[in-house]
Amino acid sequence: MEISQSGTTWDDGLSLSLSGNRWNIVHGGDSNLYFGFDYSPKLCIEPDGDLVVFGDIISVGSCCDYIFKDNYKLPTLKELDHYINKNRCLPNMTINKGGKISFQAMQKELIEKTEEQTLYILQLHKRLEVLEKYFKTINGS
């Protein structure tokens, strides 16, 4: 069935459209609620509460490249271990506090932790290189 610019209602649900092909809301026969632009579904809310996105989710805001700046205070592995043993979670993670979770905040925190892990891996790799060089010298290799 075509959705007219003035709006169309199905007998089993809801449909709404605005002029200029700007957006529409459709309650489909499958009990899902679809939101779309130019009459093409972009978002679906299912009866169980799941949110389905057709396409990319765009989050506006800055990312975490500050982790790689010289003035960033990366906790030592010992400090991190102590924090985890005491709190049973990673530091600075709001998703561990329960309640509502901001998608943008969660994304930022996960990228921050990934970048911190990268720095820890690089630190450990440098230590490993030093140990390998040491063992090569004492073994005469």
Query: CB of 43 within 8 A of CB of 34?
Result: yes
Tell me, what's the pLDDT at 86? Answer: 96
Tell me, what's the pLDDT at 141? Answer: 65
Collect all residues with Cβ–Cβ distance below 8 Å to 107 and sequence separation of at least 6: 59
What stretch of H or E contains 35? strand 33-37
pLDDT in tens, the chain (141 residues): 444 444 544 454 455 444 354 445 555 556 656 566 555 556 666 777 777 777 777 666 667 788 999 999 999 999 999 999 999 999 988 876 767 777 778 888 999 999 999 999 999 999 999 999 999 999 876
Q: What is the CA radius of gyration of the chain?
A: 26
Tell me, what's the pLDDT at 3? Answer: 44
Q: What is the pTM of this model?
A: 0.61
Q: What are phi and psi of 77, to 5 degrees?
A: -60, -35
Q: Per-domain residue ranges for the chain?
A: 1-57, 65-139
CA distance 128 to 55: 43
Tell me, what's the pLDDT at 71? Answer: 94
Q: Between the CA atoms of 8, 9, 10 and 16, what dihedral angle is there, to the nearest 10 degrees? A: 80
Query: CB of 51 within 8 A of CB of 45?
Result: yes
